[in-house]
Amino acid sequence: MPRLCLSSVLLLAAFAGLVGPTATAQLPTETRAEKEARLRWWTEARFGMFIHWGLYAQAARHEWVKKHERLTDEQYQPYFDHFEPDLYDPRAWARMARQAGMKYAVITAKHHEGFCLFDSRFTDYKATNTPIRRDLLREWVDAFRAEGLRVGFYYSLLDWHHPHYTVDRNHPQSAQSAADYDRLNQGRDMAIYRQYLRDQVRELLTGYGKIDIIWLDYSFPSGAHGKGRQDWDSENLLAMVRELQPGIIVNDRLDLLDVEGGWDFRSPEQFKPREWVTMNGVRVPWETCQTFSGSWGYYRDEMTWKDPKQLLVLLIETVSKGGNLLLNVGPTARGTFDQRAQDRLQAIGQWMAVNSRSIYGCTAAPDEFPVPEQSLLTFDPDTRRLYVHLLDWPMGQLVMPGYAGKVQYAQLLHDASEVKISTSRTTIWMSEAAKEGDLVLTLPMVKPEVEIPVVELFLQ
Ligand code: GLC
């Protein structure tokens, strides 16, 4: 019998349909209008909470700690053995999210470390086997839904615990040479992991009711020792996702950017795009995900927390460019939100309580409305109201270039107090005729007690 090397056996078997990648399933097609309708609740919501919670909360020094410090499974094990978030009260989390003005939330069912917050049938590496012994995810879903928020799961495609996940350049045991990778990956069979990943995504999308969003994170196909669509079998995985949860909104990290229906929105991470995100020149739905302080998981000693004003600017600016903001909290291993996170959520909520009209259902202003000095504009296309967010309080008057004749009424949004509009500016010593087309808003000299005051313009 001629000797065949393993790869030719596999090739022959693949031809015979015995092993190898199954045929690629068809992704459902939809028109642009259908997609817009499917995403409508999400684009109107504009603001959601990301939650990164896992064993790394206990290390409290980045969710990538296992990789950063090249920890072995054994070295990481204490975090599993001691995981007992006894103060976990997802209803309190949900309340804080709602009070901050968030309309949806996405939680890490599993992050790169491989630990599952849910009671998976396919692994022992899960919350129910730690001292807390609870399906933390189920409680989370129930609590967030009860608070009126839409729910989403983040599921890591990477897995630093599964014995068949092959070592790649992002793995804690990443190597120096191709030969080292070969040695490390002997006995690892990515096909087994691929099945595991598929089984778990199925579990998540069948066992917890209607799931509004799924974040499959992430691909790194370029360069050596990366992973991409073949490794995850992305198209078939996504076809299954769409079949199990037809309305679900899917992020863009499956390495299917060039595939029709391969993603629903772009996800610039910790990055403020300069303008509405486009693909091939067309504006697309987008969501920027951002942290309070840099890392996603709880990081005790990180001192680079953004202040409330920065966070509000982030939200407003995102909406002013037609995007969503997914703002992350990394809860502690006791199951609480750190005081710094609570303070910021509260400050955002205080602003949203009286200003959310400039956020929900809003988008970029039409081009005919230039952005006045030191401000950000959002626009509600249904009510035809324009919102001027004043980042730096002006001295009494604000000139709106080119707005004359376009505004019927103006008020401060937080207290509905009238803002006088006119087309000239006069003082005792000098009268400055406004330039043709200018509109002048007369504002109180003292900045109201609102972090970023908003003027609501009722357009003609
Ligand atoms: C990256 C990081 C990860 C974080 C995510 C959020 O992919 O690996 O830690 O969960 O981005 O977008």
- The dihedral built from the CA positions of residue 118, 121, 122 and 124, taken in this order, carries a sign that is positive
pLDDT at residue 436, as a whole number: 78
What gap in Å lies between CA 436 and CA 129, rounded to an integer? Answer: 71
CB of 296 closer than 6 angstroms to any ligand 1 atom: yes
Q: Which numbered atom of ligand 1 lies nearest the CA of 289?
A: 12
pLDDT at 155 over 50: yes
pLDDT tens sequence across 202-251? 999 999 999 999 999 999 999 999 999 999 999 999 999 999 999 999 99
Q: How far is the centre of ligand 1, averaged over its atoms, from the C-alpha of 6 (Å)? A: 36
Q: Which numbered atom of ligand 1 lies nearest the CA of 156?
A: 10
Tokens of 169: 């350049």
- Tell me the best of 252, 296, 325 to mutate to test the pocket of ligand 1, counting ligand atoms within 8 Å of each CB and taking the most: 296
What gap in Å lies between CA 107 and CA 57, rounded to an integer? Answer: 14
What gap in Å lies between CA 366 and CA 457, rounded to an integer? Answer: 14
Q: Whose CA is nearest to atom 11 of ligand 1?
A: 269
CB of 63 closer than 6 angstroms to any ligand 1 atom: yes
Q: How far is the centre of ligand 1, averaged over its atoms, from the C-alpha of 219 (Å)? A: 11
pLDDT at 7 over 70: no
pLDDT at residue 430, as a whole number: 66
Q: How far is the centre of ligand 1, averaged over its atoms, from the C-alpha of 329 (Å)? A: 13
Q: 80-95 b/e with 16+ CB inside 10 Å = b?
A: beebbbeebebebbbe
What gap in Å lies between CA 449 and CA 384, rounded to an integer? Answer: 27
- Tell me the best of 51, 218, 253 to mutate to test the pocket of ligand 1, counting ligand atoms within 8 Å of each CB and taking the most: 218
CB of 51 closer than 6 angstroms to any ligand 1 atom: no
pLDDT at 269 over 90: yes
CB of 113 closer than 6 angstroms to any ligand 1 atom: no
Q: Whose CA is nearest to atom 3 of ligand 1?
A: 296
pLDDT tens sequence across 429-453? 666 666 778 999 999 999 999 999 9
pLDDT at 4 over 60: no
CB of 217 closer than 6 angstroms to any ligand 1 atom: yes
Return the beta strands (E) in 194-341 as ranges: 213-217, 249-250, 278-279, 282-283, 287-290, 324-329
pLDDT tens sequence across 58-112? 999 999 999 999 999 999 999 999 999 999 999 999 999 999 999 999 999 999 9
Q: Which numbered atom of ligand 1 lies nearest the CA of 297?
A: 9
Paired residues of 107 in beta bridges: 51, 153
Q: Which numbered atom of ligand 1 lies nearest the CA of 295?
A: 9
Tokens of 170: 């992002």
Domains in the chain, CATH or no CATH each: 6-358 (3.20.20.80), 375-459 (2.60.40.1180)
CB of 289 closer than 6 angstroms to any ligand 1 atom: yes
Q: How far is the centre of ligand 1, averaged over its atoms, from the C-alpha of 269 (Å)? A: 8
CB of 73 closer than 6 angstroms to any ligand 1 atom: no
| pLDDT interval class at 26 (50, 70, 90) | confident
pLDDT tens sequence across 73-82? 999 999 999 9
Q: Whose CA is nearest to atom 12 of ligand 1?
A: 269
pLDDT at 124 over 50: yes
Residue 216 in contact with residue 155, Cβ under 8 Å?
yes
Residue 287 to residues 57, 232, 323, Cα–Cα distance (Å):
25, 23, 5
